[in-house]
Chains A and B, each alone.
Chain A
Amino acid sequence: MSFEDKGKAKEYWDENIKLVLTLLSVWAFVSFGCGILFVPFLNEITFMGFKLGFWFAQQGAMYVFLILIAVYVKKANTLDKKYGVDE
């Protein structure tokens, strides 16, 4: 066991799950939400020459995906260090 005790292992995993779920809710919000479900509503707004819903579907969602992975990499590495389970 690399953790000090079972409790630490559970704490680590709970924090990890919280991080993943937070990021995945953003993921679902921009793609299924802004890119699909809210498109009719968002298309009323013009953004840099785009209808906003269309922009999310063909550009914005992909930029957000990139940011999400970058945040995950950074946070997950910090979390590993905090619990002393990094490589």
Chain B
Amino acid sequence: MDVQTLTYVIVGITFALYIGIAIKSRAGSTKEFYVAGGGVPPVLNGMATAADWMSAASFISLAGIVSFVGYDGSVYLMGWTGGYVLLALLMVPYLRKFGKFTVPDFIGDRYYSQGARTVAVICAIFICFTYIAGQMRGVGVVFSRFLEVEVDTGVYIGMCVVFFYAVLGGMKGITYTQVAQYCVMIFAFMVPAIFLSVMMTGHIFPQLGFGAELLDASGNASGVYLLDKLDGLSAELGFAQYTEGSKSMIDVFFICGALMFGTAGLPHVIVRFFTVPTVKASRSSAGWTLLFIAIMYTTIPALAAFSRVNMIESVNGPDGKGIPHEQAPSWVNSWEKTGLIKWTDKNNDGLMQYSKGDANEMKIDRDIIVLATPEMANLPAWVIALIAAGGLAAALSTSAGLLLVISTSISHDLLKKNLMPNISDKKELIFARLAAAAGIVMAGYFGINPPGFVAAVVAIAFGLAASSLFPAITMGIFSTRMNKEGAIAGMLAGLGFTTVYIIYFKFVNPAGNIPDNWLFGISPEGIGMLGMIINFVVAALVCKVTAATPQSVVDMVESIRFPKGAGEAQDH
């Protein structure tokens, strides 16, 4: 079978599997729809959360980013895993004990205020929409590259599949499909990485091959370490040293912080931990989640380094002078067709040359690093098909998780808790499904007509989560005195500062988005951490001069601080 038929077969099988699982685990009540009935075992919830968290961007683009920026890419690796330590230690057990369905639920009740709830709902919906637009696009792109259908058709197919299992199954349906999607995704990612590691360094574990000596053509240790080779190549070609990077230390510090605190404040991640049966289970579930994520995230930088060496050598040749285009490896030709690799023979010598600066003749898209790995490692066609299935699994699982938060925010936080308090459980469930359906249609629209601002607003999503939700939740747990006025003032200050800063540099004055103009040298990507500090300070000051928290709220805070009596997630 050729690659394309195989891809159709493998993708078809995985889709059938997801839909089959969704039919088996249909949701019958709002509780099943919102939190899967609160009965998901911690290991399975860990897998589902990992799939929820690792998006199309993690799967397809992250290794490419690390590969092109070297050390600077560490902010994503540490930021997107370190946030789970904060989640596990500061939030998850307490929110599970609190035992309701959503993040705005907690903020609304803890700060005895509809205003605080509304701010939280708006943040949650905004964050999820920013994210989901990119996911649907990812589905379309994978379809168009591997199955040669139009991007739009790919988006429609993706919409139908997500529609089916998110609307039907709610949290219960998506949790069990996400478990399957995690397995597909991790298998698809690890197989080529392991082969490449064995081929280049003789190590089965890419994490060890990353620091090992390269093998020469006859398979003996060459005495040259992979990373030394990479630093040498980078210096030769005019790039920053791979292991040192080029961003300033303060910027790296703040970006890493914004991503960590942002991760811990993302509603679609937090809500996952409402689905396990006990507080104890929620703690271990956070550990499982990080383990499942770390399997992929510790492989990513290794794959990035292998592919970078491989790519530079296949283009520039072992002597670094460039190799003739007609002798280029087949993956160069096959990805030239898609436009992800472009060669312009500037000096008309017929040789391909890759470097930084004017002599560079190659335009290489970052996504190539993952997409072309199976071909670089000369792996069979079914591995290429697996990459397609893995990319789709990553995009679909994340979209479904986000959709669920959007629908919950609308049917539960907005309708039930605000506008229509007397609505019955059955009606609420209908509204939840309608909201999920509407969410899919909007996500599909953005997938087909991608707004140019998607990449720019992802920084806002993390900035918002770090500067508004994270401080509000942690203060609500660790301080019994923090009151409504303090929390709202803090959220608005953090939110306002962060949003204005990002909008100014991304939209109002994008030309001025250079280190010299940044406040303390912090880029818009990292400003959320400063916004978070502002939130904490403003909240503490305002709290000092306003009325004390009512005793009933103090009692509530004290009762969420220990596990006993958690019971299942409940509404009232």
Contacts and interface: CB of A to CB of B under 8 A. Distances in A.
Interface of A: 2-3, 9, 12-13, 16-17, 20, 23-24, 27, 31-32, 35-37, 39, 43, 47-51, 54-55, 57-59, 61-63, 65-66, 68-70, 72-73, 76-77, 80, 83-87
B89 A72 contact: yes
Interface of B: 66, 71, 73-74, 77-78, 81-82, 84-86, 88-90, 93, 207-208, 210-213, 225-227, 243-244, 249, 252-253, 256-257, 260, 278-280, 283-284, 286-287, 290-291, 294, 297-298, 301, 478, 558, 561-566
B211 A87 contact: no
A24 to B, nearest CB: 6
A61 B393 CA distance: 27
Given A50-B227, A66-B291, 17 more contacts: A2-B565, A17-B478, A35-B74, A43-B244, A47-B211, A49-B210, A51-B243, A54-B71, A65-B85, A65-B294, A68-B85, A69-B287, A69-B290, A72-B89, A72-B283, A73-B88, A87-B279
With most chain A CB atoms within 10 A of its CB, the pick from B89, B213, B286, B297 is: B89
A10 B85 CA distance: 24
A49 B211 contact: yes
Nearest to A59: B298
Q: Interface on chain A toward B: helix, strand, loop, or mixed SS?
A: helix
7 shortest A-B CB distances, which residue pairs?
A49-B211, A57-B74, A85-B562, A58-B301, A69-B287, A54-B243, A85-B564
Contacts of A68: 85, 89
Contacts of B566: 87
A50 B210 contact: yes
Given A2-B564, A51-B227, A83-B562, A65 B290 contact: yes
B294 A76 contact: no
Contact of A16 (B77, B298, B561): B561
B84 A48 contact: no
Contact of B225 (A23, A49, A65): A49
B77 A62 contact: yes
Contacts of B211: 47-50, 55
A32 B478 CA distance: 23
A47 B225 CA distance: 12
A49 B305 CA distance: 13
A77 B283 contact: yes
A39 B212 CA distance: 20
A78 B297 CA distance: 30
B207 A23 contact: no
Contacts of A77: 280, 283
B152 to A, nearest CB: 38
Contacts of B564: 2, 80, 84-87
A13 B561 contact: yes
A58 B561 CA distance: 34
Q: Is the interface of B mostly helix, strand, loop or mixed?
A: helix
Given A35-B74, A43-B244, A57-B78, A27 B90 contact: no
Contacts of B249: 36-37, 39
Tell which of B66, B74, B257 has the most Cβ of chain A within 10 Å.
B74
Contacts of A48: 208, 211
B89 A23 contact: yes
Given A72-B89, A87-B564, A62 B78 contact: yes
Given A43-B244, A62-B77, A27 B85 contact: yes
B84 A69 contact: yes
Which one of A2, A20, A39, A87 has the greatest number of beta carbons of chain B within 10 Å? Answer: A87
A22 B290 CA distance: 20
Contacts of B301: 58-59
21 contacts: A20-B89, A20-B90, A27-B82, A31-B78, A36-B253, A39-B71, A47-B211, A49-B210, A49-B211, A51-B227, A58-B71, A58-B77, A59-B301, A61-B81, A62-B297, A66-B291, A76-B93, A77-B280, A80-B563, A84-B564, A87-B564
A57 B211 CA distance: 13
A50 B213 CA distance: 11
Given A2-B564, A37-B249, A73-B287, A59 B207 contact: yes
A61 B198 CA distance: 25
A12 to B, nearest CB: 6
A32 B286 contact: no
Contact of A61 (B78, B86, B287, B478): B78
Contact of B82 (A58, A61, A83): A61
Given A35-B256, A50-B210, A72-B88, A86 B78 contact: no
B82 A12 contact: no
A31 B561 contact: no
Contacts of B279: 87
Contacts of A51: 227, 243
A47 B210 CA distance: 12
B82 to A, nearest CB: 5
A55 B93 CA distance: 31
B168 to A, nearest CB: 32
Contacts of A9: 558, 561-562
Contacts of A49: 210-213, 225-227
Contacts of B286: 69
A75 to B, nearest CB: 10
Nearest to A79: B562
